[in-house]
């Protein structure tokens, strides 16, 4: 039996996903002693099973789609010859290229003690990982989340994929059934239909139901045009069949048959191994209970990212890490906010949101709200590239944006300007003062500010009167 080791670092980070890695690297480089635990893959879900592989597969699918739709640009369209296995190798290449940045070796070079094992609380201050007991000054739980597998009768009798297994596949699905019409389900639906698969999405409520319905409709229309079958209000009630011949029945009597099944119905926090009760850490249905500073009911322990039960995005985990670093390393009170957090769905067209949606803003601000809209069809770059589908919607209260919604090309890139504006409480006048290079899609954001000021300047009798008086007096 190996001898138990004991470590007493300043900080213990449990989980080497996005939030945990930001936490560990930042803390150690600013002088703290850090132990990092990871029982699965360095880089967590984002690198290995989520953001990186999904966007790589989307890129392959986009290349296939462009080959089949190049005729409007004066280039003959061709039927793409899709090698699904090669597309998945592109995915693997993307992961492997980024992997060294998240590797154990890199973090050990930074000075982090990395232990490749799961951690379990054995007291309110101690965590055991393998043959090591760690008693740190502070602990940050960053264990993330895993795909939720719903208790659908018959599911255990057929093979199925989640995002954790999908990218290991090399045989192209003939007909992919996807249960779940959220961002993951819709992104993978479009990617697979573009790669030559038949795709059916089975959603128990409304597809993309968490998004502004006006924006979501643009995306869903495009997916349907490309051949994705989207069944809404279709709650899966029973699953049967066998490998290559799977059937999903719904509560309203519908039946959907396909060759493969992908579950994309949400996430669950990774807390089962932690023995949180031992440490006096309370949980909710969504994850670990925290206050606005991300501190748990154990004052020495913080939780960040998906496991904290809030917004489940990689960039939120990184943001949480930066909030907690201030508190732990410098003793500076720091609270996490959500009002300035953007998110994007990487379908084509993309959909992005920051701050309040139109419905939320109307409920919160009533008559003080102004909504301004700019269509992609009026943007010269969008016209040149035939990407005129989509629009920007900006919600403004007393001259400051409180929310922005974008559906269209590069929406995920463009939402950053509005995230900056909302985070720093900028005025529309400051956004109007920006000069965007011509011709770019970014001019749509500039036009959004222009839409706010145009009626105030061009339809204002007082402005015209002042201009008239000035013109008479100017020499």
Q: Is 55 annotated as belonging to a binding site? A: yes
Confidence of residue 258 (pLDDT cuts 50, 70, 90): very high
- The per-residue pLDDT for range 345-388, each reduced to its tens digit, is 999 999 999 999 999 999 999 999 999 999 999 999 999 999 99
Residue-level pLDDT at 453: 87
Are the C-beta atoms of 31 and 155 separated by less than 8 Å?
Answer: no
Residue 143 has pLDDT above 90, yes or no: yes
Burial level of 257, CB count in 10 A (0-12/13-18/19+)? middle
Provide the H-helix boundaries in 255-341: 314-330
Q: Which tens digit of pLDDT belongs to each residue from 32-61?
A: 999 999 999 999 999 999 999 999 999 999
pLDDT digits (tens, 9 = 90+) for 281-307: 999 999 999 999 999 999 999 999 999
User: Is 180 labeled as ligand-binding?
Assistant: yes
Cα–Cα distance for residue pair 268/285, rounded to 1 Å? 9
- Known binding residue 183? Answer is yes
What residue ranges define each of the domains in the chain, with the CATH number in brackets?
5-42+103-145+268-330 (3.50.50.60), 155-265 (3.50.50.60), 342-458 (3.30.390.30)
Which tokens sit at 458?
Answer: 């061009």
User: In 3-state terms, what secondary structure has residue 330?
Assistant: helix
pLDDT of residue 474: 85
pLDDT at 457: 77
Is 327 annotated among the ligand-binding residues? no
Neighbours of 313 (CB within 10 A): 20
CA dist., res. 187 & res. 228, Å (int): 11
What percent of the chain lies above the pLDDT cut of 90?
94
| pLDDT for the residue 89 | 98
Q: What is the pLDDT of residues 433-443, one digit of tens each?
A: 999 999 999 99
In whole angstroms, give the CA distance from residue 404 to residue 448.
10
Residue 2 above 70 pLDDT? no
- Residue 203 annotated as lining a ligand binding site: yes
Question: Was 145 annotated as part of a binding site?
Answer: yes
So what's the pLDDT on residue 252? 96
For residue 333, give the DSSP letter.
-
- Percentages (nearest 5) of helix, strand, coil residues in the chain: 40, 20, 40
d(CA 213, CA 174): 31
Residue 392, C-beta contacts closer than 8 angstroms, at least 6 positions apart: 373, 374, 376, 404, 405, 406, 408, 414, 444, 445, 447, 448
Q: Is 144 marked as a binding-site residue? A: yes
- Statement: residue 71 has pLDDT above 80: yes
Instruction: Please say whether the beta carbons of 112 and 106 come within 8 A.
Output: no
Terminal C-alpha separation, the chain: 97
What pLDDT does residue 365 have? 97
Predicted model pTM:
0.94
Residues in the chain: 475
Considering only CA atoms, which of 234, 160, 229, 155 is closest in space to residue 192? 229
Encoded tokens for 395: 């919600």
Query: Beta strand pairing status for 229-231 and 198-202?
Result: parallel
Q: How confident is the model at residue 468 (pLDDT cuts 50, 70, 90)?
A: confident
Please calculate the CA angle 469-472-475 and round it to the nearest 5 degrees: 130
- Give the integer Cα–Cα distance in Å for 269 and 188: 22
Beta strands across the sheet bearing 245-250: 236-242, 245-250, 255-258
Q: Are 215 and 349 in contact (CB under 8 A)?
A: no
Tokens of 65: 């789609």
pLDDT at 1: 52
Mean pLDDT of 169-192: 97
171, exposed or middle or buried, with CB in 10 Å at 0-12, 13-18, 19+?
exposed
How high is the pLDDT of residue 22? 97
Could you say which DSSP state residue 272 is in?
T
Q: Are 148 and 265 in contact (CB under 8 A)?
A: yes
Q: What is the pLDDT of residues 203-233, one digit of tens each?
A: 999 999 999 999 999 999 999 999 999 999 9
Contact criterion met (CB below 8 Å) for 37 and 88: no
Query: And the tokens for 242?
Result: 């066998």
The answer to whether 18 and 305 are in contact (CB under 8 A) is: yes
Mean pLDDT across the stretch 124-130? 97
Please tell me whether the peptide bond between 349 and the residue prior to it is cis, using omega within 30 degrees of 0.
Answer: yes
Instruction: Annotate 303-371 with DSSP letters as a single string.
Output: E-GGGGTS---HHHHHHHHHHHHHHHHH--------TT-EEEE-SSSEEEEEE--HHHHHHHHGGGEEE
């Amino acid at each position: 039996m190996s001898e138990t080791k004991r470590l007493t670092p300043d900080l213990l980070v449990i989980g080497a996903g996005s939030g945990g890695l930001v936490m560990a690297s930042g803390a150690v480089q600013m002088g703290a002693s850090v132990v990092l635990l990871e029982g699965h893959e360095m880089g967590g879900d984002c690198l290995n099973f989520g953001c990186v592989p999904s966007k790589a597969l989307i890129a392959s699918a986009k290349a296939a789609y462009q080959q089949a739709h190049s005729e409007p640009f004066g280039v003959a369209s061709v039927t793409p010859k899709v090698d699904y296995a090669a597309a998945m190798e592109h995915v693997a290449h993307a992961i492997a290229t980024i992997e060294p940045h998240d590797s154990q070796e890199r973090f050990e070079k930074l000075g982090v003690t990395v232990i490749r094992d799961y951690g379990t609380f054995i007291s309110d201050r101690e965590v055991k990982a393998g043959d090591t007991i760690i008693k740190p000054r502070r602990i940050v739980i960053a264990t993330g989340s895993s795909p939720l597998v719903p208790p659908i009768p018959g599911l255990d009798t057929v093979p199925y994929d989640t995002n954790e297994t999908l990218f290991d596949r090399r045989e192209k699905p003939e007909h992919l059934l996807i249960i779940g019409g959220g961002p993951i389900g819709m992104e993978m639906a479009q990617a697979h239909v573009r790669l030559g698969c038949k795709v059916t999405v089975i959603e128990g409520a409304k597809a993309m139901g968490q998004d502004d319905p006006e924006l979501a409709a643009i995306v869903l229309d495009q997916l349907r045009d490309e051949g994705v079958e989207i069944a809404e209000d279709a709650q899966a009630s029973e699953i049967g069949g066998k490998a290559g011949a799977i059937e999903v029945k719904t509560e309203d009597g519908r039946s959907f048959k396909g060759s493969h099944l992908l579950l994309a119905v949400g996430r669950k926090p990774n807390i089962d191994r932690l023995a949180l009760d031992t440490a006096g850490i309370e949980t909710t249905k969504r994850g670990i209970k925290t206050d606005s500073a991300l501190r748990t009911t154990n004052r020495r322990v913080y939780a960040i990212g998906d496991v904290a039960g809030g917004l489940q995005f990689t960039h939120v985990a990184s943001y949480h890490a930066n909030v907690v670093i201030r508190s732990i390393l410098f003793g500076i009170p720091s609270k996490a906010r959500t009002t300035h957090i953007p998110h994007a769905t990487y379908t084509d067209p993309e959909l992005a949101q920051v701050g309040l949606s139109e419905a939320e803003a109307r409920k919160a601000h009533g008559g003080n709200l102004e909504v301004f809209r700019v269509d992609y069809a009026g943007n010269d770059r969008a016209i040149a590239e035939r990407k005129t589908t989509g629009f920007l919607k900006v919600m403004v209260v007393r001259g400051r944006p409180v929310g922005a919604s974008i559906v269209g090309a590069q929406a995920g890139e463009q939402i950053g300007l509005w995230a900056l504006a909302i985070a720093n409480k900028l005025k529309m006048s400051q956004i109007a003062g920006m000069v965007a290079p011509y011709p770019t899609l970014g001019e749509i954001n500039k036009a959004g500010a222009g839409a706010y000021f145009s009626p105030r300047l061009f339809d204002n009798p007082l402005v015209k009167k002042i201009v008239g008086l000035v013109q008479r007096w100017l020499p």
